Structure 1
Amino acid sequence: MSDVKMYNLINGNFIVTSGNTEIHTILGSCVSVCLWDPLTRVAGMNHFMVPGTPDAINGNPNQGYFSIHVLVNSMLKRGCSILNIEAKIFGGSNSLTPNIQYAIGTRNAAVADMLLVQYGIKILARHTGGHHGRKVIFNTATGKVKMKLLSNV
């Protein structure tokens, strides 16, 4: 029986691993992208707060454009192929404002969708939007994700 490592992912960070790890994070308007390559068994996950801008490929890891770019490139450096990488997207709630113009969660999720499509990465699942936060647990050995909606307290 192998030991499972636990890792708590906070905003502005990402992890790429081939180890048997459970990555935990809590999301409100933030978004996490979980990537998994079933052939190499390499997995990665990020956690970003704001969408950022398309020219932010050398910037702030709290911004989606930069965070996703770094996550994907880290997977590729570990020997993954874009053709094999699978994605799951979580988060992006809009609990603070009903106004779509300021709905940072919706904008975060849209950036994740758009960039993954541009990279040619298959999006297998998504659970985004709404008005509740989420707890996400990503099992990097299997590529499976457990997600729980959090109620307003």
Structure 2
Amino acid sequence: MVTIVQGDFAVSNDVHVVMSTILGSCVAVCLFDRQAKVGGMNHFLLATGGDANTADLKYGVNAMELLINKILRAGGDRRRLQAKIFGGARMTVHARDIGQSNGDFAQSFLEREGIPCLSQSLGGTLARRVQFTPTTGAARQMQITGSPPPETQVTRPRQAADITLF
């Protein structure tokens, strides 16, 4: 079992390897070449951002480019790559929907690059555990249930006239 943490990726051609990650608003793209029996998984936190010259894997574009390049170096053929996408949940109601942005990015990246997406599980409000076998492309997802975090009431700060200073 190879665990993929936030901002990381792995590639393997070992039939015994299973990759695993846990996702909330992050997205994992599982890429594989079934004929060459090689594939990999990434786990990115944000669709875009940062410096274009950095190799920071928390950003989708870097995570995707590095994953593709390593699969090709391991014997994969770009024309045979296929994908499965997971994650992109909305984990909080008070902030912008980062999960939606991450999912949209992954889908548009694959479309632009001509890599077919065979299946996807994006959105919702639950975290996911994903297991992926890179040599076959087999993937399984388990939603992580539990009570959602309590919503906190947003209170406005008092106006200056309401404050008494001693």
Measured against aligned partners, the alpha-carbon deviations of 1:113-143 in whole angstroms (never above 9, x if no partner) come to 1111111111000000011110100012321
Give the counterpart of 2:29 among 26, 30, 33: 33
- Output the TM-score relative to the length of structure 2: 0.82
- State whether residues 29 and 104 of structure 1, in contact with CA within 8 Å, keep that contact through their aligned partners in structure 2: yes
Q: Does 1:112 align with 2:106?
A: yes
| CA 120–57 in structure 1, closer or farther in 2 if over 3 Å, else same | farther
Residue 83 of structure 1 aligns to a residue in which SS?
helix
Q: Which amino acid aligns with 2:137?
A: G
Residue 26 of structure 1 aligns to a residue in which SS?
strand
Give the counterpart of 1:59 among 55, 62, 68: 55
Q: Does 1:90 align with 2:114?
A: no
Cα distance in structure 1, aligned partners of 2:111 and 2:52: 18
Cα distance in structure 1, aligned partners of 2:130 and 2:65: 21
Q: Which amino acid aligns with 1:138?
A: F
The structure where strand makes up a greater share of residues is 1
Q: Which amino acid aligns with 1:124?
A: L
Q: Percent identity?
A: 34
Give the counterpart of 1:48 among 29, 36, 44: 44
**Cα drift, residue 47 of structure 1:** 0.4
- Output the TM-score relative to the length of structure 1: 0.89
Give the counterpart of 1:121 among 115, 131, 141: 115
Q: Does 1:81 align with 2:74?
A: no
Measured against aligned partners, the alpha-carbon deviations of 1:59-112 in whole angstroms (never above 9, x if no partner) come to 31111111111111111222222211110000000021276xx10000001111
Cα distance in structure 2, aligned partners of 1:86 and 1:12: 21
Q: Name the counterpart of 1:3.
A: none
Cα distance in structure 1, aligned partners of 2:98 and 2:126: 14
**Cα drift, residue 55 of structure 1:** 6.7
- State whether residues 31 and 105 of structure 1, in contact with CA within 8 Å, keep that contact through their aligned partners in structure 2: yes
Q: Structure 1 residue runs of 4+, over 6 Å off?
A: none
Instruction: Tell me the matched-pair count.
Output: 146
Cα distance in structure 1, aligned partners of 2:75 and 2:135: 16
**Cα drift, residue 58 of structure 1:** 3.2
- State whether residues 8 and 44 of structure 2, in contact with CA within 8 Å, keep that contact through their aligned partners in structure 1: yes
Q: Name the counterpart of 1:149.
A: 143
| CA 146–57 in structure 1, closer or farther in 2 if over 3 Å, else same | farther
Q: Name the counterpart of 2:9.
A: 14
Residue 131 of structure 2 aligns to a residue in which SS?
strand
Residue 124 of structure 1 aligns to a residue in which SS?
strand
Give the gaps of 5 or more residues in structure 1. 1-5
